[in-house]
Chains A and B, each alone.
Chain A
Amino acid sequence: MDMFAQILSSGIAVGMIYAVIAFGFQLTFATSGTLNFGQGEALMLGALVGLTCVDTFGMNYWVMIPVVCLFGMIQGSFVELIGVRPAIKIKSEFGWIMSTIALGIIFKNVAENVWGRDALPFPSPLPMEPMNFLGANILPMEILVVFGALAMMLLVEFFNRKTIYGKAVVATANDRDAAGLMGINTSMVITFSYALSSLTAAFAGVLIAPLTLTGATMGGALGLKAFAVAIIGGLSSGMGIIVGGLILGIVETATGFYISTGYKDVPGLILLLLVLAYKPSGLFGKSAIKKV
């Protein structure tokens, strides 16, 4: 029972991180129908920039977060301008897939050259003493991860639903051409959605960093699994990614515990393949009708 509670609590924390990154996938997919294959690298850069702020510039963890968010926005805009916009212009799906992958590779390589190849520890802003809750040892940082992730998603949702700029984002998501004709600068909106998407990724990076190690290679697996979450939950369902994230996080932690940590990435990816094979729109997504 204790073990179960432990797996559950660790799984939830990991799952919420996946959900936040998956949320970033949803943001860009909604406005432009594209995904940033380098989303994991955006997270990694966020974490490393955060580490530099804390270690080198002696910033407080809480002060560092807005700096990292700003950095995420700039990084996301850059990805959109270099990798996605030209592809949208020439309507090449192949183009944005390859160029976001390429940018991901470049970011990773740059990070390796700047921060080195070793994984670095990230100082925790909260005490690292585990608290006992229902027989499970829970780190305060894990609670922060869950609430931080939820807060970030709620904030963006609030922005989209309540502000006029958010309405522009939603309008573009619904029909880019019509939104353009209504005077919305849709390419600006798409850039913005990338900025927002990388912001959430960078934020997720500094949330998870104290729990894991930080390094150039931390992003790849996280990005792929977040994609799995986005697909399992459905690329259009906010509820879906949270449920998907939790499922994946818990399954993974359980696999790591009961089978072997080497296999821990496998069930999530198999789940991804199964969902794509049987319900490509995701567990919570609506399937679209194809028009001829």
Chain B
Amino acid sequence: MMKLKSLLPLLIAIVGLFCLPLFIHNPYYIHLAETILIYTILLFGLDIVVGYIGQVSLGHAALFGIGSYTAGVLYFHFGWTIWGTIPASIIVTAFFGGILALPALKVIGPYLAMVTLAFGTIAQILINEMTWLTEGPLGIKIPKPELMGVPMTKAEYFWLVSAILIISMIIVDRFVKSQIGRAFEALRDSPIACDCMGVSVYRFKVIAFVISAGFAGLAGCLYAYSEQYISPNTYNNELAVLFLLGIIMGGRKSRLGAVIGAAIIVLLPKLLDDIYLFRIVASIIAIVVVAGAAMALSKQLTTPRRVAIPLAGVVGLAAFSFWLNSISDWRLSIFGFMILLVVYYLQNGIVGFTKSFYQSMVGKAKTTRGEDAEVVDDSISFISAVGKQNTGAELLKVDSLLMQFGGLKALNNVDLSVKRGTIHGLIGPNGSGKSTMMNVLTGIYVPTAGTVLYAGESVVGKTSSDIALSGIARTFQNVQLFGEMTAIQNILVGLHHTFKSNMIEIALHLPRYKKEEAEAHARALALLKFVGLDDLANEEARNLPYGKQRLLEIARALALDPELLLLDEPAAGLTAPDIKELLRIIRKIRDSGITFILIEHHMDVVMSVCDTVSVLDFGQKIAEGKPAEVQANEKVIHAYLGT
């Protein structure tokens, strides 16, 4: 039943797309609709970079161009047909996407935006200059593809594009809902936690760019056949900005948003060619926004101050349209103006805005719970039993570890030996180097000198994600959850290592992927239940109360099947009942054979669960032993009380 309901819009879309050329015979309108579909495919891809990994890409116009030119060049020089150029465009562009991602590995935010801008500029220059390959500014003419020896009609090509669009939509949807999509969102929300969950940020950034570029290439290829002529000027930086506008305005992380965005950026220039139509539309928008604001004000959902600027903006735009005689010269200004409005007042796009506006008007909060009020299967062994066979053997050995930041020795010749199956406390005043130790153990810092042996192997120089996969999981002092993801999705990121299925299996929903997904889901629920969060499974992590967030972090770390679990101040900020619950959880985990290193300031917690305690002060280990011994140690008392 549920399934049918969600499939219905898709069916309507398919029928609609099929019927469109049958009822509209004007080739101009068919071409316009076709362009929207092609841009939609590109926006699906762009959304992966913008919406899912949260980066700004100004290089997608260039990728789009690379797709077009791959098709154009292969046709022009080698006479390839569309059945060869489509896969070639996807592969070539995906390859360039990978190249674009390489510098992107090390940089984020504004740097990445500039890198992509530079990439776009280089690509445009090269397409223009490499005349032996691309015919340069002259461009390339491409006829419509042939079907069984006969050139396709306008309608037939439209159907082909529609079919590819539907397939793309299904594939993108499946990708972003799989472990790959979760990895994308995880690296956006907290790259460090993502690495520490065994999900390599580097790797998945590149994958995101490659997939995204693949779709851009596909769209570019289809565009070449649609326009039947390509030239370098089409693929400029303004087109890249236009694509970004499309995806933000339509709505990120939404297939419908991509369709709306594509429709806007295709129709808008046409609209701006016709001043009379533009006046009408600008007036309607002004009226709608004014009415919406009035409604929101009357329900006291917003303040006059907040609506003043967007109101002035849209009313001003309408007035501007009546003052002008011709709009086409001012097209870019209006684009710029729309970007400004969208960036500040429509951050979640039309789709996101409509959703939240509808909810606030109806006065009904989104009921994410209950939807899958699944029964937790108690028989699942959600904590992998490490076994107690080797209890007492050395699991982690740190030898004369030195971590230097400039002149500061945050860790100075520290030795540490952690025995299997024990809870090893690490205490010390603030700034004594405890968290630095955690960061060295999990590969976030590379130590200046010294060795760290985990289960007999050195972890120094290994990446955080490799260390995580080898069995060291951690939580963070300042909680590092994947905020925009739900509680259960957070755990599923931790379970990423249980997935073996590849992209093809995901795209086709082959049995192995479905089985893995179902198993991971069941185990994630069991883990949530273990920390008492099963009824909050579908709540976004950022909306959880602080104490619950800490518990969720522990559950997420457990999903990694660790042998060694590092907890960095798990009790900080918890209430007394929460701490009791935490102690119960820690003991339960220890009973399954997992080893702990516990950083904590709550002495009662440390004293009640730890088997051994090491004390750090100014980067040096000043004491070690049983909790009671340490508590009585002169040096420790001195370090804490400073007398």
Q: Do A and B come from one complex?
A: yes
- Please give the residue numbers on chain A whose beta carbons come within 8 Å of chain B beta carbons, in ascending order: 34-35, 37, 82-83, 86-87, 90, 92-95, 97-99, 101-106, 108-110, 112-113, 220-221, 224, 227-228, 231, 260, 262-263, 265-266, 269-270, 272-274, 276-277, 280, 289-290, 292
Complex Cα distance, B115 from A270, in Å, reads 10
Complex Cα distance, B435 from A94, in Å, reads 31
Contact of A99 among B126, B335, B340 (CB under 8 A): B340
Interface membership of chain B positions 411-446, coded 1 if the CB is closer than 8 angstroms to chain A and 0 otherwise: 000000000000000000000000100110000100
Q: Is the CB of A108 within 8 A of B332?
A: yes
Q: Is the CB of B103 within 8 A of A224?
A: no
Q: Is the CB of A109 within 8 A of B107?
A: no
Tell me, rounded to whole Å, the shortest Cβ–Cβ distance linking B113 to chain A.
Answer: 5
Contact of B111 among A102, A231, A270, A289 (CB under 8 A): A231
Q: Is the CB of B113 within 8 A of A97?
A: yes
Q: Is the CB of A276 within 8 A of B107?
A: yes
Q: Which residues of A contact B56 (CB under 8 A)?
A: 94, 97-98
Of all chain A residues, the one with the shortest Cβ separation from B406 is A289
* Contact residues, B156-208 vs A (CB, 8 A): 192
The reply on B117 being an interface residue by CB < 8 A is: yes
Q: Is the CB of A220 within 8 A of B237?
A: yes
Tell me, rounded to whole Å, the shortest Cβ–Cβ distance linking A289 to chain B.
Answer: 6
Q: Which residues of B contact A274 (CB under 8 A)?
A: 103
Q: Is the CB of B111 within 8 A of A276?
A: yes
Contact of B129 among A102, A104, A260, A269 (CB under 8 A): A260
Complex Cα distance, B255 from A87, in Å, reads 27
Tell me, rounded to whole Å, the shortest Cβ–Cβ distance linking A254 to chain B.
Answer: 17
Assess A227 versus B114: contact at CB under 8 Å? Given A112-B329, A273-B103. yes
Known A102-B343, A112-B332; 11 more pairs at CB < 8 Å: A97-B56, A102-B340, A106-B333, A109-B333, A109-B336, A110-B333, A224-B114, A266-B125, A269-B119, A272-B114, A292-B478
Q: Is the CB of A105 within 8 A of B333?
A: yes
Interface membership of chain B positions 116-138, coded 1 if the CB is closer than 8 angstroms to chain A and 0 otherwise: 01110110011011000000000
- Please give the residue numbers on chain B whose beta carbons come within 8 Å of chain A beta carbons, in ascending order: 54, 56, 58, 102-103, 105-107, 109-111, 113-115, 117-119, 121-122, 125-126, 128-129, 192, 237-238, 241, 244, 248, 329-333, 335-337, 339-340, 343-344, 347, 405, 435, 438-439, 444, 476-478, 480
Of all chain A residues, the one with the shortest Cβ separation from B131 is A262
Complex Cα distance, B54 from A292, in Å, reads 20
Q: Which residues of B contact A231 (CB under 8 A)?
A: 111, 114
Q: Is the CB of A292 within 8 A of B435?
A: yes
Q: Which residues of B contact A270 (CB under 8 A)?
A: 122
Contact of A273 among B109, B113, B115, B339 (CB under 8 A): B115
Q: Which 6 A-B pairs have the closest CB atoms?
A: A102-B339, A106-B336, A109-B332, A105-B336, A277-B103, A102-B336
Q: Between A and B, how many residue pairs show CB distances below 8 Å?
A: 129
Complex Cα distance, B58 from A263, in Å, reads 21
Q: Is the CB of A262 within 8 A of B332?
A: no
Of all chain B residues, the one with the shortest Cβ separation from A112 is B329
Q: Which residues of B contact A106 (CB under 8 A)?
A: 332-333, 336-337
Q: Which residues of B contact A262 (CB under 8 A)?
A: 125, 128-129
Of B107, B114, B237, B477, the most chain A CB neighbours within 10 A belong to B114
Q: List 20 A-B contacts (CB under 8 A).
A: A86-B344, A87-B344, A97-B109, A98-B56, A98-B244, A105-B238, A106-B333, A108-B332, A109-B329, A110-B333, A112-B329, A112-B332, A262-B125, A263-B129, A273-B103, A273-B119, A276-B111, A280-B106, A289-B405, A292-B192
Q: Is the CB of A99 within 8 A of B115?
A: no
Q: Which residues of B contact A104 (CB under 8 A)?
A: 336
Of all chain A residues, the one with the shortest Cβ separation from B244 is A98
Q: Which residues of B contact A92 (CB under 8 A)?
A: 343, 347
Q: Is the CB of A224 within 8 A of B102?
A: no
Assess A269 versus B122: contact at CB under 8 Å? Given A98-B56, A231-B111, A292-B477. yes
Q: Which residues of A contact B439 (CB under 8 A)?
A: 292
Complex Cα distance, B352 from A277, in Å, reads 35
Complex Cα distance, B328 from A113, in Å, reads 11
Tell me, rounded to whole Å, the shortest Cβ–Cβ distance linking B331 to chain A.
Answer: 8
Q: Is the CB of A272 within 8 A of B336?
A: no
Q: Which residues of B contact A83 (CB under 8 A)?
A: 340
Complex Cα distance, B114 from A266, in Å, reads 15
Of all chain A residues, the one with the shortest Cβ separation from B331 is A109
Q: Which residues of B contact A290 (CB under 8 A)?
A: 192, 444
Q: Which residues of B contact A292 (CB under 8 A)?
A: 192, 435, 438-439, 444, 476-478, 480
Q: Is the CB of B340 within 8 A of A82?
A: yes
Contact of A269 among B110, B121, B331, B435 (CB under 8 A): B121
Complex Cα distance, B126 from A263, in Å, reads 8
Complex Cα distance, B238 from A110, in Å, reads 15
Q: Is the CB of A276 within 8 A of B106?
A: yes
Q: Is the CB of B476 within 8 A of A277?
A: no
Q: Is the CB of B343 within 8 A of A99?
A: yes
Of all chain A residues, the one with the shortest Cβ separation from B343 is A98
Q: Is the CB of A266 within 8 A of B126?
A: yes
Tell me, rounded to whole Å, the shortest Cβ–Cβ distance linking A192 to chain B.
Answer: 21
Contact of B118 among A87, A95, A224 (CB under 8 A): A224
Contact of A280 among B58, B107, B330, B332 (CB under 8 A): B107
Tell me, rounded to whole Å, the shortest Cβ–Cβ distance linking A18 to chain B.
Answer: 14
Q: Which residues of A contact B125 (CB under 8 A)?
A: 262-263, 265-266
Q: Which residues of A contact B476 (CB under 8 A)?
A: 292
Q: Is the CB of A266 within 8 A of B192?
A: no
Assess A273 versus B118: contact at CB under 8 Å? Given A94-B56, A266-B125. yes
Q: Which residues of B contact A86 (CB under 8 A)?
A: 344
Q: Which residues of A contact B347 (CB under 8 A)?
A: 92, 95
Tell me, rounded to whole Å, the shortest Cβ–Cβ distance linking A106 to chain B.
Answer: 4
